[in-house]
Structure 1
């Protein structure tokens, strides 16, 4: 008799240890008979190893209660019968695993009514929509539909955690998924400049990240609070949040996250006018990025790399009043920014236009700014892009309001600003 593969896979999917499975079975026995059961870790080991082909009645009932399926589906064979061939994975489960995010939203909720156990496969299904939402943000930027979709994903993860029986490990993972979706909703609000909603989502995200004991999720919260603080000109808050991100366990483990945290500190210090400290921090960000190696990371941080560091370097120089170096950093950013980050490219281009107009080249700056609108291809501009173009617009009109290029830009900008 060989390994019981079906039981081994069921335990792995549930995300529990042999000892915890034994405890759950004994609890079921106690609920039925009033006496705690006698199953132990060795008993479970013998089942998985195939040494015991058919558990006794009490333990079998406990197994069926924990996994919510007949013992035969867990690889056991009644005495006197020949072992059956492993059943093909149920069609519903295979369809569920391969379905896209819309199907996940439709299928998870009905399954809760018929399942009492939640495992790691459920966590992965709940997590499946995050990459799609992050890609949508990269392409279009933050908007209400993205925020709502992210909050719906967070609620699905919470519902799974609250309505199903799960191991502590699985519960923590589900809280982590909920935190990731909520952080995406918060970021969408920051990008669309709905700051009050963003802060509410970040407060909720901080709680979920704590429940998940997920240092990367906690770092993401601090990163977003730093951006929010800079956006609202609460620069002291921004520095404190960026420093908290620097102190995260994740930044000590991964130079890429350390680089991002240093860059956020640099921008915040530049906003405070602390030139030397800001330049020192942006230098640390570059050194950390050089030490980065390829490894699995959450999809939300895919935006960060050499191109984004150039973008943040440009912002630092811009805040410190060095338009020439800001222009150079913006050019380097646009030369290395991956194609899929359309919104970030629009922002970098708007900042390039601002650096050019601050050097007195109104015609070139107006041409650069116009390309931002062309780049978005008729899609609505996110709040941050609109704000960056608004800053450029004011400076262009201050410098050269009557030139043909400035008037042409003003007409184009007015039409774009008045779009619904």
Structure 2
């Protein structure tokens, strides 16, 4: 049974796929189309956290009519069309209200959703008109009816999705300790939504400010597993969601320099994958384990974990996933100073990447595109001491990165600064370092700060070179991390 105590006013019926929307996506992968949606939103001053999962839900017919923010973006992307032209149902059929007259503007979201009338709070409302859970972007609308109802009714989904505070994550663990009843579909949806929110916040702002707040959602997710589920399909989704959440929390620890915590979270995700026989989750857990091992100075473990990830991922049929895993292996070989092994893995990574995106690509891989490929290759050459080649790839990575991934742009720019400094090009290094410092106003990442600290030490003997003194002084003035 559904976890929400609010009955739906819509009759139960299977969703009808939106074939029109699928046709409009064309040859682009769901992740690539989601990036195009985000770019279009920025063009008109909207902010939507569209990702591959959202695109899949639209095409599967799970989202019969988008919220007003998405409506404005879609009509901007496909001028001259109406929502029904895009394959959506009329708003009146999902809201129980009259259809807007042609030419009317989408209604503005209510100023206070908590005090909204039944117009925006009815159980049949399949879209949120205002997102209260992200202080960085109060207009970052999300499409999740079950999640909205779960927060309103205080059911188990509230616990699973982490009793979201205005920051987007639970600030305390008390909610995770409350008893829960058997989980239903909306609990699984809420858990998946919590994973998405963590990833979006990390993409924009880095991990340091998020990690402590993410512990309670993770405990709550495993509390739901202990409580049991109403259906096997729901249980499978909960296990997968809990494992993905463990990986996301592990990444926050990883990027914050808490390697032991990260290792524990990744191991938890791997155990969850093994219990349920979830090959996709297993590949993801091994992927992150390999990355962590490389960063923690255990390159042989990085190679083994990356190879295990590839064994798990091979039946999944995603060349892009295999490409990323080959890059993880290459990073391990570079740490072992095995140039030949590294080059072979890089060749495989490029060959897999060139096959293009596909329907089997995991949702969590939305970050992986040409920019990330270039950035990870830059790190390999840097580890091998080929600074010139590393700088070339790092520069290309920074130039190619989608603006949505602010943290990655900062990382690639910091990598470029360090490679240039070590390649004996202090003036260029200082310029790149200043750009990275500018971006640190938006991003909190111990990894980036550590890289810039290393760059500053390399540049100290070049203080008299143009621009270097300014970079060193500005870096020295950075506030200490708490």
Regarding TM over 0.5, the answer is yes
Paired position in structure 2 for 1:19: none
Matches within 5 A, 1:271-350: 271-295=335-359, 297-350=361-414
| Partner Cα separation in structure 1 for residue 294 and residue 438 of structure 2 | 28
Is residue 110 of structure 1 aligned with residue 155 of structure 2?
yes
**In structure 1, what is the equivalent of residue 473 of structure 2?**
411
**After superposition, what is the alpha-carbon deviation per residue over 1:273-323, rounded to whole angstroms, capped at 9, x for unaligned?**
100110111111010011133326444321111110000111111122211
Question: Could you tell me how far 1:210 is from its partner in structure 2?
Answer: 2.4
Name the structure 1 match of 2:24: none
Question: What whole-Å deviation, never above 9, does each CA across 1:101-128 have from its counterpart, x for those lacking one?
Answer: 8565735753579996644344223212
Q: Which SS does the other structure have where 1:416 is aligned? A: coil
Residue by residue, what CA displacement relative to the aligned partner does 1:5-43 show, whole Å, maximum 9, x if unpaired?
A: 95766xxxxxxxxxxxxxxxxxxxxxxxxxxxxxxxxxx
CA distance in 1, matches of 2:285, 2:156: 31
Contact 1:138 1:341 in 2 (8 A): yes
- Alpha carbons of structure 1 residues 101 and 108: separation in structure 2 relative to 1, 3 Å: farther
| Aligned CA distance change for structure 1 residues 419 and 114 (closer, same or farther; 3 Å) | closer
Contact kept, 8 Å, 1:324 with 1:359, in 2: the verdict is: yes
Within 1, Cα distance between the matches of 2:434 and 2:406? 15
Separation (CA, whole Å) in 1 of partners of 2:132 and 2:240: 18
Q: Check conservation: 2:318, 2:358, Cα contact below 8 A.
A: no
Gaps of 5+ in 2: 1-9, 15-95, 97-117, 134-146, 158-177
In structure 2, C-alpha distance between the alignment counterparts of 1:114 and 1:313, rounded to whole Å: 47
Equivalents in 2 of 1:248, 1:108: separation in Å? Answer: 40
Contact 1:215–1:250 (8 Å) recurs in 2: no
1:51-200 matches, within 5 Å, as 93-94=123-124, 98=128, 102=133, 106-107=151-152, 109-110=154-155, 118-144=183-209, 146-163=210-227, 165-200=229-264
Query: Whose radius of gyration is greater, 1 or 2?
Result: 1
Which of 371, 375, 384 is equivalent to 2:439? 375
2:452 alignment partner in structure 1: 389
Counterparts in 2 of 1:383 and 1:7: CA distance versus 1, 3 Å: closer
Instruction: Compute the displacement of 1:375 (Å).
Output: 2.1
Structure 1: any 5+ residue segments left out of the alignment? 10-87
Query: Kindly tell me: are residues 264 and 153 of structure 1, through their superposed partners in 2, closer, same or farther at Cα, counting changes over 3 Å?
Result: same
Listed one character per residue, the Cα deviations across residues 364-419 of structure 1 (whole Å, up to 9, x for unaligned) are: 2111111101123x245301101111221121124x24445332221111111536
1:175 CA displacement: 0.9
Closer, same or farther: CA 297–196 of 1 in aligned 2, 3 Å: same
TM-score, normalised to structure 1, is 0.72
Encode CA deviations 1:226-253: one digit per residue, 9 max, x unaligned: 1111111111111111111111135651
Partner of residue 228, structure 1: 292
Aligned residues: 336
CA distance in 1: counterparts of 2:432 and 2:474, whole angstroms: 13
CA distance in 2, matches of 1:370, 1:239: 34
Paired with 1:238 and 1:196, the residues of 2 have a C-alpha distance of: 15
- Greater helix share, structure number: 1
Scaled by the length of structure 2, the TM-score of the pair is: 0.63
Classify the secondary structure of the residue corresponding to 2:245.
Answer: helix
Distance in 2 (alpha carbons) for counterparts of 1:419 and 1:197: 18
* Residues 228 and 235 in structure 2, CA contact (< 8 A), matched pair in contact too: no
